[in-house]
Amino acid sequence: MIKCLVMLAVITLAVVVARAADQNRRIVIYDGVATEIAVPPNSSADLWITTGDLTRATRFVIKTQGVCRDELCFPLPKSRKAEFVSKRGATTWFNLSEFAKLIRQPVVVDQKNGVWYFGVREAEQNGYLTSLEAPNFTLPDLNGRLHSLDDFRGKKVLLVTWASW
């Protein structure tokens, strides 16, 4: 019995230590890809990430004309530049959550687990509305076989969705 209690205490301590270590990391999911990023020294409700993490997680780069990715470039309002970019020591930080608001990109945050999910920008979402064509996706059936929406193109399909929130 004492052996079990000691083992339980050791496991509990390991979980607490691992959880505390995780408080120094965040996960950003952008374009469906999860990237672990560093946490800024001071806590904030916004997601401040290093410019290196910005490029790794989103492929965006800060340039003189704005925040750019390939040919796509979003200028930052000069009067609000401090809301987006901050220099602390040798590190430049970028406010990704404020940038998402600027470009009208939906964001979902799980503060407890440090996960930030960035959805498709409004311009991309509207493309599906104008074409009236649902984006392709692949899901398993009850037997585990994968089915894609593209498999049913040209046929009538009823999509039923549900969310717990």
Instruction: Please state, in angstroms and rounded to a whole number, the distance separating the CA atoms of residues 110 and 116.
Output: 6
Residue 57, classified by CB atoms within 10 Å of its CB into exposed (0-12), middle (13-18) or buried (19+), is buried
Is the pLDDT score of 6 beyond 60?
no
pLDDT in tens, 68-112: 998 889 999 999 999 999 998 899 999 999 999 999 899 999 888
Q: Which of 158, 151, 126, 117 is nearest to 136 (CA)?
A: 151
Q: Which residue has the higher pLDDT, 124 or 5?
A: 124
- Per-residue confidence band for 153, with pLDDT thresholds at 50, 70 and 90: confident
Is residue 116 very low, low, confident or very high in pLDDT (cuts 50, 70, 90)?
very high
User: Residue 17 corresponds to which tokens in the numbers above?
Assistant: 């230590």
More confident residue, 159 or 87: 87
Least confident of 31-35, 91-95, 104-108, 131-135: 131-135
How far is residue 136's CA from residue 128's CA, in Å, rounded to a whole number?
11
pLDDT of residue 126: 64
pLDDT at 31: 87
- Taking the model in full, what pTM does it have? 0.63
pLDDT reported for residue 147: 87
